[in-house]
Amino acid sequence: MKRHALTLPLLIVLAACGKSDPEPLPTPTATVAAPRNLVAADLDLATLGAKVVGPQGPQVETVLSAGNTEIGTMVSYVACPAEVIECVPGKMPEGTLYTYVHQVTLDDAERDEIKPTSGPEVVEAAPTLFRTTAKAHGFTGAIGYAKAEAEAALGAPEAITTTLDNGSLIWRVTEGGGWKPGSTITFWWQSTLPPAGPADNYLLEVDGNQSAARGPFPAEDKPVEGKKPR
């Protein structure tokens, strides 16, 4: 018994000597979210119900201009689900999905110019895209466009890719023979938030021309005291 009593403190000292200082925890660093590709679904008008009636009526119409040149028009509206016959955001239950629809029509003018095919003047073709220029508040992940219209306007129903980039939505033309003048493509996306009113939060880029567009857009969902944000 005495031998055990004498060796126990020695074991404790040896164990203490064998311990090493804990490794310092890594310092967190901020990361920038990379653009994320989204699955684009076809527009199904049968899933849409009544439209939200805003200060400009059930739809917002805007002229798309680049400098002094009109390059097209956009007609936008927001719809409740199919079973809703009167879409009044203040009376809709929490969790209602609002579909934002944007019909973009190019003007009839041909703007194509003869471009060099070799030499230092050759540059990468300018992108053709439609996008939000602000974070799409309440975005559910549902997004797409009218694929029959894309086939008629671009030559391929799957000619458009959709991307979420830092909260903004981008519809980019990646296939086909170019957007035909006079043709229409309808873009759509869903949000859990109703429109706060028209805002200059959209942009069309085609043939090297950029035009800001005004359409319905949701406001940021600010948390109410005592209530968690959706």
Q: How confident is the model at residue 23 (pLDDT cuts 50, 70, 90)?
A: low
Q: What is the SS3 assignment for 217?
A: strand
Task: Tell me the C-alpha to C-alpha distance, in Å, between residue 123 and each of 184, 192, 201.
Answer: 28, 41, 29
The closest of 200, 202, 207 to 107, measured between CA atoms, is 207
CA distance 135 to 194: 14
The strand order across the sheet containing 195-206 reads 36-38, 160-165, 168-173, 129-132, 195-206, 209-218
* pLDDT greater at residue 122 or residue 83: 83
- Range name among 57-66, 172-181, 205-214, 220-229 with the lowest pLDDT average: 220-229
- What pLDDT does residue 3 have? 47
Query: What's the average model confidence in pLDDT over 19-32?
Result: 51
CA distance 176 to 155: 5
CA distance 199 to 100: 13
Between β-strands 40-42 and 69-81, what pairing exists: parallel, antiparallel or unpaired?
unpaired
Query: What's the average model confidence in pLDDT over 178-193?
Result: 97
- Token pair, residue 165, equals 């980039």
Q: What is the pLDDT of residues 127-145, one digit of tens each?
A: 999 999 999 999 999 999 9
